[in-house]
Amino acid sequence: MNIYDVSAKAGVSIATVSRVLNGNPNVSDKTRSRVMEVMNALGYTPNVFARGLGLNTMKTVGIMCSDSSDPYLAHAIYYLERELRANGYDSILCCTGSKLINKRQYFELLLSKRVDAMILAGSKFVEIDSAEDNNYIIEAAADLPVMLVNGFLDAPGIYSTVCDDRDAMYQVADRLIKSGRRRILYVYTSHSYSGENKKRGYRDALAANGIPVRDDLICQCGKNIAAAKELLISLADSGLDFDAVMTSDDSLAVGAVKFAHARALDMPKDLAVVGYNNSMMSYCTDPEISSVDTKIEALCITTVQSLMQVFGGGDVPRKTTIAADFVQKQTTDI
């Protein structure tokens, strides 16, 4: 079943069938509808390979992420896939694993599939310490659009959609301070583009309120519940005093709630806890954790819309910023 069968049955040439297939306007309405009828009657679907060979496009974009089982990225994949499909594009997925080993090889593997664009989901793909490690991305962007979801790299052909993490954290810290908290602990997991922005928001808010930024109140921690709980216990044991915990990820906030339970601290009275990403986890604890909704759906929709504009030759800003929303639940009163 191919284009010849259709053309024979419809009494036209294969070129005309191809034109109908591609929505070429140079076909009379009469011919078009006749061809379409035949295609339906025969249940014809064009062969993607032959199509790709001719058009040299697969109508497919590559999505790279570190670990699709991370709740945040899982949502991102879901929304990206949905939006791409709505625009007639398939997505081929490639997860590098949370260690991000061989991310460059994976990237090139996906490129070799002749994808029409690349979407890198998550801020971890952009190296903020060794800029030259991003060169392979910058080079690739010369050939095809590269979209970053929650990452930023300033180079032609690379388009970023980011959440305003700095502002979100600034607002959270500012409101905590205005409600009387003075010793706000900041616990974060990763040293990344968004990670640095979050930290900056925290610092800026303290500075703006005339509160000295103390390094001993800024701690790094593995991205898991137990590690966060243990960290807070050992900090408290060592005599550190704090009345609020801000975290860069909900999992850390869950650990903070467990710490509060272990010490019989009342939340939010004795300790305010704020998570990040407003994931399912933040709804599991008792009390539920106030968190920052980073608008992952909006981020993904915007990313795909920008991509479509890039495909259409439109002028797209290299960076689009989307505001986050603080979601007040039970571990704060701000």
| Residues forming the site for DNA (CB under 7 A) | 2-4, 11-19, 21-22, 25-31, 44, 46-47, 49-51, 53-56
Q: Which residues would be at the binding site for its own copies (CB under 8 A)?
A: 45, 47-53, 56, 58, 60, 67-71, 74-75, 77-78, 81-82, 85, 90-95, 97, 112-114, 225, 251, 254, 257-258, 261, 280-281, 283-286
If the CB atoms of residues 16 and 247 are measured against DNA, the closer one turns out to be 16
Rounded to a whole number of angstroms, the minimum distance from the CB of residue 81 to DNA is 24
What residues contact 264, with CB distance under 8 A and at least 6 apart?
Answer: none
**Minimum separation from the CB atom of position 177 to its own copies (A):** 28
Q: Minimum CB separation from DNA for residue 219, in Å?
A: 52
- Token pair 């997925």 is found at 93
Q: How far is the CB of 32 from DNA (least distance, A)?
A: 7
31 binds, among DNA, its own copies, none (CB under 5 to 8 A by kind): DNA
CB of 113 to its own copies, least distance (A): 6
Between 19 and 258, CB nearer to DNA: 19
Distance CA(67)–CA(287), nearest Å, equals 29
* Residue 222, CA distances (Å) to 28, 157, 225, 228, 250 in order: 64, 34, 8, 7, 12
Tell me the C-alpha distance between 278 and 15, whole Å: 53
**Residue 104: count of CB within 10 angstroms of its CB:** 14
CA angle at 267 for the pair 263 and 273, rounded to the nearest 5°: 95
Nearer to DNA, 48 or 208 (CB): 48
Contact 245, 232 (CB under 8 A): yes
Within 8 A by CB and 6+ apart from 196, the residues are: 128
Question: Which lies closer to its own copies via its Cβ, residue 51 or residue 319?
Answer: 51
